[in-house]
Amino acid sequence: MHGSSRRKVKIVGTLGPSSNTQPQIEALIRAGLDTARLNFSHGTHDMHRQVFASVREASKAAGKYVAVLQDLQGPKLRVGKLGPEGIVLKAGDEVLLYPEGTTPKSSTTGRIALPISAEIAGPLSKDVRKGSKILFDDGKIFSEVKSASPPEMVIEIQIGGKLTSNKGMNLPGTPLSLPACTDKDLKDLKLGLELGVDAVALSFVRYPKDVTFVKEQIRKTSNHKPLIVSKIEREEAVYTPEGILEVSDGFMIARGDMAVELGAEKVPKIQKMLIRMCNELGVPVITATQMLESMISSPTPTRAEASDVANAVFDGTDAVMLSAESASGQYPINAVITMSQIIMEAETATDRYSVHQPLTPISGSVVESIEYSASKIAGHVGARAIACLTHSGMAARTLAKYRPEIPIVAIMDSEASLRKLAFVWGIEGVLIPELVSTDDLFGMVSKVLVDNNRADEDDIVVVTAGTPTLGRGTTNTIKVHQVKVPVSRS
């Protein structure tokens, strides 16, 4: 496969009942999956353990370094258990919200008693004011708060509908005092660290302290250092993302809750703003939610979905994500193949339709200057690839920030660091036993590129490395190199 036909934007796929056996995962990887997402809102620890092991096995079988993203549930704002039929709420109904598992204290005369999850009832009833809005089931049912006497509150239904057990709640416009990381999340995180997940996604992040709290927990309990991906969905985070960005290793634009909290009409603009901000800082960004939603039950996407995926590519996203499409849909493999095809088609035209100003390196940073220059030189000389020799992956990530047209090959000696590049635009990784300083560094690069089908004899490639020591964080060299494979003396 020649360099130009490789896909640059990565695919994150959620594993679930339709896709959690090793053969299914291997088929997804062969179809184009780069990162497997384990959604900790569902499933037991034993099940996640099993799926994690299957991903690692399937990756090995498919010969590809696939990352595992653990997605923590966060404080789930949801109603409690209702009868098998649910309840029908009508405009004008007065409803008493009370903590599940308790008996309502307030009068229920003329009111419908509706349990909500006990862990959130106390804080929510203190956070709301008269007139606050509470939405249920992704915004389908709309209500206003009449009064609150913690841990209970009385609401009036404005737009009704049928409500069933465990449906989500949203409180647009109400700053919430709930911690972003619950006791369940901490237990789940402990499992993720024990397994060795490559990244952890935090739900409902509002402030930088939500992220630093989790980083502290990790530092205290484990030597394992997964990437921390902040899910941007709450109003507080959307309007002041800069501080959160500084402490995060990646962003996920979680458009589902965002649409309910802020209005669906605002989502496209926010998506573009967040992607641009991440691109400028070289922070990987994943665009998520309903990208190919109709493929849960249909073998083909709608035209609007194809446009949505392509537009995320034009916006500059590093990765796009499948949720139910790959986890519980009828066509998980087809969804990955379709997404890959849409991305590749869009990538043939990103130079025409992306609206980005070319980025320039941060002044004073050697690695930024080197990688920026490498991206320019590779384009000028028509290189077949840009090879980055890197321990941590930092140099390759920095290079990806400049979105070179020439394929980026990260040559690394750490599988864990290599997997973390599965979220980053345009990087392909090659693992070698050890990055050691050799007299024939460039001969080694030639051999690695040829052995891995990334270049042929006599191709021009651009190499960045730290010489002479190959020490960590020392990228200081660019070489335009003609591939010559050393003749093995038999």
Matching residue, tokens 């849909």: 329
* Residues classed as catalytic: 37, 78, 231, 289
Amino acid at 301: P
Q: How far is 348 from 134, CA to CA, in rounded Å?
A: 44
- Tell me the three state secondary structure of residue 231: strand
For 70-104, b/e burial (b = at least 16 CB within 10 A) is: bbbbbbbbbbbeeeeeebebeeebebbbbbbeeee
Which 8-state DSSP code applies to residue 79? B
Contacts of 241 (CB under 8 A, 6+ apart): 232, 251, 274, 277
Here the tokens at position 350 are 């990103």
Amino acid at 283: V
Contacts of 140 (CB under 8 A, 6+ apart): 159, 161
- Tell me the three state secondary structure of residue 466: coil
Report the run of H or E that residue 410 belongs to, with start and end. strand 408-412
Tell me the C-alpha to C-alpha distance, in Å, between residue 353 and each of 253, 282, 315, 375: 21, 20, 9, 20
- Tell me the three state secondary structure of residue 61: helix
Helices 183-195 and 208-221: crossing angle in degrees, nearest 10, is 50
The alpha carbon of 189 is separated from its chain's Cα centroid by a whole number of angstroms, namely: 16
Which 8-state DSSP code applies to residue 310? H
Contacts of 314 (CB under 8 A, 6+ apart): 346, 350, 353, 354, 355
Here the tokens at position 291 are 């990208």
- Tell me the three state secondary structure of residue 485: coil
Q: How far is 58 from 372, CA to CA, in rounded Å?
A: 35
Q: How far is 344 from 352, CA to CA, in rounded Å?
A: 14
Contacts of 376 (CB under 8 A, 6+ apart): none
